Amino acid sequence: MYDNTCKFLAENFPEDFASWLLGNPIPLTKLEPSELSAEPIRADSVIFLESSEIVVHLEFQTKTDDTMAYRMANYWLRLYGKYPTKAIHQTVIYLKRTNSPLAHQTSFKSKQLNHEFNVIRLWEQPTDIFQQYLGLLPLAVLTKTSDPEKTLRDVARQIDNIADKRVQSNVAASTAIISGIALDKAIIQRLLRSEIMKESVIYQDILLEGEAKGEAKGKAEGKAEGKAETARQIALNMLLANVSTDLVAQFTGLTLKQVQKLQKISTKLPKTPKSSKPKRSQKP
C-alpha cells in the first residue's frame, strides 16, 4: 500500500516530484508500462513519467531487493529502445530506514555492461524541501527529522490550509498511510482529521475493492452472508491502509471487538490494494 500511495502522489503531483528530483517543475505525464514491452512490468512499485525531452523512472521501496540493480538496467534498455532521443532519469526511493548495503547500490555491473542509476534514502533528505510542495507533504515524516510527530503536526496544519477540498482529502489520506511507516496509528489519528480523508480516492478505492470482494463471495454464499463478507473485506482493506480501528468500525458498522479481531488477521496479509488516478488538480 505504501508503494501504491507514492505512485498515486507522483502521478497526481508530477511537477512537485520534478522540482524535487530534477530541480525544475517540468510538466510530466504518465507513461504506461505496457508501452515498453509485452513482458510484464513490476507495477506495484514502478512509475514512468515523460515529457518531450525526458523520461522519469521511479521505484518506491519499503525494503531492499537484491535484483534492483539488474531491474534498473533492464528498464533503462527498454526505455532507450522506445525513446532513444530522450534523456532517461532513474531513481530508486527507499521509504523505510535500513542498514542494508543494498540501499546504497547505484549501479549494475557485468562484463559487458555498466549501468548507473540514482538512489534516494528518504531518512537522509532535509525535511524543509518536502514541506514546500503539496505532493511531497505526505513523505515529510520519513525525512531527516529529529521529531516525526512534530513534523506530522506541521504537515497537518498545512493540509488544513489547502483550499481545494479534493486535493486536501487526497493529501491527508496519503499522509495518514505513509506516516504509518514511522508513527503509531494513535498519533496519526490524533493529528489528522478523519472527516477530511473520507472523501479521498485512496480510501474510496479501498472501500470499492472490499465491496467487490464481498459481492463476489456473496453470490456463492447467499445475500446475508455476502453483506457480512462485504463489511469484513472493507474493514480488512482499511486496516491494511493503516486506518484506525475506531474509524473502521464507523465505516463498516462492525463492532470494535470485531474490528480488533480482523486487525490481528490484517497483520498477516500483504498490503497491496491498487490505487486509481483522479483528474489532476493544480496546486492552490
CA–CA–CA angle 59, 63, 65 (5° rounding): 75
Do strands 87-94 and 118-121 pair parallel, antiparallel, or not at all (unpaired)?
Answer: parallel
Task: State yes or no: pLDDT of 196 exceeds 70.
Answer: no
- Cβ within 8 Å of residue 101, ≥6 positions away: none
CA–CA–CA angle 104, 107, 113 (5° rounding): 165
pLDDT number for residue 276 = 43
**Dihedral sign of CA atoms 121, 124, 125, 127 in order:** positive
Name the percent of the chain in helix, strand, coil, to the closest 5: 55, 15, 35
Task: State yes or no: pLDDT of 177 exceeds 90.
Answer: no
What is the share, in percent, of the chain residues with pLDDT greater than 70? 75
| Angstrom distance (rounded) from CA 231 to CA 239 | 12
What domains are defined for the chain?
Answer: 2-124 (3.40.1350), 127-197 (no CATH), 201-266 (no CATH)
Cell of 78: 527498454
Over residues 123-160, the pLDDT tens digits come to 999 999 999 999 999 999 999 999 999 999 999 999 99
Query: Residue 119 pairs with which residues in a beta bridge?
Result: 92
- Cβ within 8 Å of residue 104, ≥6 positions away: 119, 121
pLDDT number for residue 263 = 83
Task: State yes or no: pLDDT of 280 exceeds 50.
Answer: no
Over residues 77-117, the pLDDT tens digits come to 999 999 999 999 999 999 999 999 999 999 999 989 999 99
Q: Please name the helix (run of DSSP H) or strand (run of DSSP E) that holds residue 48, with its range, or none.
A: strand 46-50
- State the chain's mean pLDDT as an integer: 82
Question: Shortest CA distance to 142 belongs to which of 157, 153, 127?
Answer: 127
Query: Residue 47 pairs with which residues in a beta bridge?
Result: 58
Question: Shortest CA distance to 24 belongs to which of 4, 60, 61, 53?
Answer: 53
pLDDT number for residue 197 = 65
Task: State yes or no: pLDDT of 195 exceeds 90.
Answer: no
The four Cα atoms 120, 110, 39, 33 give a dihedral, to 10 degrees, of 30
Q: Name residue 70's amino acid.
A: Y
- Cβ within 8 Å of residue 133, ≥6 positions away: 13, 16, 19, 20, 283
Answer with the residue of higher pLDDT: 189 or 91.
91
**Which range has the worst mean pLDDT, 49-58, 203-212, 219-228, 275-284?**
275-284
CA–CA–CA angle 168, 43, 133 (5° rounding): 30
Give alpha helix (H) positions in 23-147.
68-82, 127-130
Number of other residues whose CB lies within 10 A of the CB of residue 133: 19
Mean pLDDT over 223-244 rounds to 74
| Angstrom distance (rounded) from CA 140 to CA 127 | 6
pLDDT number for residue 105 = 97
